[in-house]
């Protein structure tokens, strides 16, 4: 049965989407059946996977708004063997409509349980907030990957995320889950400056063995690949960015399986 992993940090621009997309493609190269769920209304993961948002009749917003079965929303990524539950801008309006809905924190969880058996890994790319959509993602998840950018103020806001994780663990008692930290992922390391290495030390002191050994370097190919609608693992397979995400997938799988 598929493991559900949320990629979350309420800070924007830390590498959540880049990690979701490239971990998804890297897991597929290892022969894993992967679903990538985009729950950010900016829909970057959907675009990074080469899916044309304009052509979509329905998106993940329909799952929240009218209980559309997830199966009917799934698209194929353009270049890799990854299924995608796509998002679009209309997801931005979902939060306000959910406020008074019963069981509002469990919508995504209930939906993903119905398709969980079809996958080895279900990755959820979270928005940069701790609103209802992120709560849904975390409640649905077995574990969370927290990307942390190797920059000044990297740890800022993480206490809030950890508090949220504790609140989620309480909610999950209703569906027999306990959200774990899969790992803290250090991203966008600039190997030419000291600050990145200082952040690594700081994060490792705090999170200890929870930090992935694989560190993602800053690599221009990672930033360019999305404009071609490709994971960097397809756009530039031998680049440092690509190789580091493939290493991350192996590290994660060998820890889990």
Instruction: Give least dist CB 18 to Mg ion, A.
Output: 8
Instruction: Give least dist CB 151 to ligand ADP, A.
Output: 11
Task: Please select the residue that binds Mg ion; options are 10, 17, 46, 236, rule is CB under 5 A.
Answer: 17
Residue written as token pair 């690949």:
225
- Most distant pair of Cα atoms in the chain: their distance: 51
Instruction: Give least dist CB 137 to Mg ion, A.
Output: 12
* Residue closer to ligand ADP, measured from CB, 15 or 70: 15
Q: Does 88 bind Mg ion (CB under 5 A)?
A: no
**Residue 127 contact, options Mg ion, ligand ADP, none, Cβ 5-8 Å cut-off depending on partner type:** none
Q: Which residue blocks in the chain are alpha helix, DSSP H?
A: 16-29, 44-48, 60-66, 94-98, 107-113, 132-140, 158-171, 194-207, 220-224, 232-235, 240-256
d(CA 12, CA 15) in angstroms, rounded, equals: 8
Cα four-point dihedral sign 219, 221, 224, 230: negative
Enumerate residues 23-82 that contact Mg ion by CB under 5 A: 44
Instruction: Give least dist CB 15 to ligand ADP, A.
Output: 4
Residues lying near ligand ADP in the complex (CB under 6 A): 12-18, 44, 128, 187-188, 216, 218-219, 222-223, 226, 241
């Amino acid at each position: 049965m598929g493991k559900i992993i949320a990629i979350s940090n309420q800070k924007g621009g830390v590498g959540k989407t880049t990690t979701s997309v490239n971990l998804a493609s890297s897991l597929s190269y290892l022969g894993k059946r992967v679903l990538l769920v985009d729950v950010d209304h900016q829909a970057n993961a959907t675009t990074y996977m080469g899916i044309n948002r304009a052509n979509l009749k329905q998106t993940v917003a329909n799952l929240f708004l009218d209980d559309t079965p997830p199966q009917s929303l799934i698209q194929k990524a353009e270049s890799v063997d990854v299924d995608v539950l796509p998002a679009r801008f209309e997801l931005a309006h979902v939060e306000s409509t959910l406020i008074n809905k019963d069981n509002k924190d469990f919508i995504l969880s209930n939906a993903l349980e119905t398709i969980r058996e079809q996958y080895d890994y279900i990755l959820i790319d979270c928005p940069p907030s701790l609103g209802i959509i992120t709560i849904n993602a975390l409640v649905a998840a077995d574990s969370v990957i927290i990307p942390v950018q190797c920059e000044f103020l990297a740890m800022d806001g993480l206490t809030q995320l950890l508090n949220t994780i504790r609140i989620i663990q309480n909610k999950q008692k209703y569906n027999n889950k306990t959200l774990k930290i899969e790992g803290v992922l250090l991203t966008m390391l600039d190997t030419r400056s000291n600050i990145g290495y200082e952040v690594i030390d700081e994060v490792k002191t705090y999170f200890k063995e929870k930090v992935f050994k694989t560190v993602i370097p800053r690599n221009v190919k990672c930033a360019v690949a999305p404009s071609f609608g490709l994971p960097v693992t397809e756009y530039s397979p031998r680049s440092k960015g690509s190789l580091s995400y493939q290493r991350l997938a192996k590290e994660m799988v060998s820890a889990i399986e």
